[in-house]
Each structure stands twice: as C-alpha cells, then as structure tokens.
Amino acid sequence: MDTLAFWLPLFLLFFSALVGAVLKRRSCDHCLKKFEGSEILIPFGNQEWTCGKLSVFAQGIEVEISGKIELNGVKVLAKVLHSTEVDKIPYFVRQAPDPDTRKGMNWKKERERLLHPPFLDRVRRSSLNSYNMLRDSFGQALKAILGSMSKDTKFGKTRDADKRLHQMQTSLTGLVPNSWEPILEKYRGKCVAIEREVNSVIISETGILEDYSNKYILLRDVHVSESVLADHLDELTVKKDRACDILYSRSHALLRYSLRLGDSRG
C-alpha cells in the first residue's frame, strides 16, 4: 500500500502537468478572444499607438499593420506583443462595422441579444456559473485527498512536497478560468460606467457590460470620454462617430456605476 501511496501522487503530478501544459498552449482569455480578427486600436507606451487586425495567442498577440510603417527601410507587416507587454495595455478599442453591411447587422443583433438574452443563453450562462461556484470546492477537496494520500509516505516527506501538491492542485483546477463574480454577473447586459485614471484624472466611460474575465471587462457601445483616445479613433478605417466596443484591463479600470439604459449618452 505504501508503494501505491508513493507512486499515485507522482503519477497525478506528471499527468496534471502534462495536461496543463497542453491546454496552456491553446488557452486564451475568452474576452480578448472576442476581438480576434477585428481591427483594433491600442495605446502602447507613453505616446505610441498601434492599429491593425488582431490575432490572439496563448502567450501574446499579433497586430497586423499592413506595411503602414517601415523599419530600416523595410515595410513592417505585423507587430508582436508578448504576454508581459499585453498585460500593460490599458484597453483595446474596436469600432462597430457599418450598419448597412452584414457585419453591421450582426453587430446590432448581438447587442440586442445581450440586452434581451433568450432562454437558452440564460441556461448556458447559469450552467457556467454553477460550475465556477463548485470549482473552488473541488480544489479544496482535491488538496485534502492528495494530502491524505501523501501523508506518512516517502513522497510526503520529500523536500518541497507541499509546494508540488499545491502546483498540482492549481494545474488541475485552473484548466477552465474562474471568471464568475456575482457583482459583475448581476450587471451583464446592463448599462454601466467604468472608472479609470488618465494623467492623474479619473474619467468615466459608459457602455453595456457584455462580459468579463479575471483580466478584462468588455463593454459594448461605449461613449468615449478620454480626449486623447477620441483623437486617435480616426486611425481606424471606419467613421469616427461609429460606436465602439472597448476591452478594459482590470488593472487600469473598474466598474463603478449602474445606469438606466437610455441615459448613458447624456
């Protein structure tokens, strides 16, 4: 029995690390993934702005800029930003397509579906929330089981055994990100206002809360308040007065107010 107690935790550790590594290579933030293939505008650094078609990867993003700039006399096709750089980006801006096009009609339907979700959408979201509520309990139970299995065994007495068990628990329970938060879930599909700091000044921007993750808050039909951002919107290929979807980094913005729909545009 001591042999089983020794080898089973080792096998689970190896298996969870293997599965976690495979999924990590394919996993992307689901809010950021919604901007995949769209033309986006992002601030990068103090004065630099980047505009182009977005491709999302597990460890970074690629912005296709179609040779608009040159480097040492050679046209640049795309700019690659790694995960540590992506984490510093305060927001991603995507403008709504022309309402007279198929994409524009789909955008409007998605907005209406967000405001008035059908029954099936509500069931799917409720199922996801139920899973996320049980997720932490599963993690604690797994930790207790592994701790009991490794107790008084050679594995349990090895150096950094507790650390390795914690890593295994994190790998197993982290395969699906825990994005459920009651306060944000309450306001999905509602008109809200976020607050963020720009040059030591707090500004508010309003829109419809579509989704969120542990890294981002996604607002639809945003009323842009930041003057610098408004001045750069013409870098996108559509009209400046078109509606915007903005993906805010949660390290730079937070949801502050709930608003009455219809009042967000002043």
The span from the first CA to the last CA of the chain, in angstroms, equals 71
Domain chopping of the chain, boundaries: 2-28+119-173
pLDDT score of 198 more than 60: yes
Give 3 or 250, the one with higher predicted confidence. 250
Which segment of 12-21, 68-77, 182-191 scores lowest on mean pLDDT? 12-21
Q: What gap in Å lies between CA 218 and CA 207, rounded to an integer? A: 9
Number of CB atoms found within 10 A of residue 81's CB: 18
Q: What gap in Å lies between CA 150 and CA 30, rounded to an integer? A: 36
Q: What gap in Å lies between CA 136 and CA 134, rounded to an integer? A: 6
State the chain's mean pLDDT as an integer: 78
Which segment of 4-8, 101-105, 110-114, 172-176 scores lowest on mean pLDDT? 172-176
The CA-CA-CA angle for residues 104, 27, 187, to 5°, reads 55
20 pLDDT band, cuts 50/70/90, is low
pLDDT in tens, 217-238: 999 999 888 888 888 887 776 5
pLDDT in tens, 93-152: 998 888 888 888 888 888 888 888 888 877 777 776 666 666 656 656 656 665 565 555
- Whole-prediction pTM: 0.75
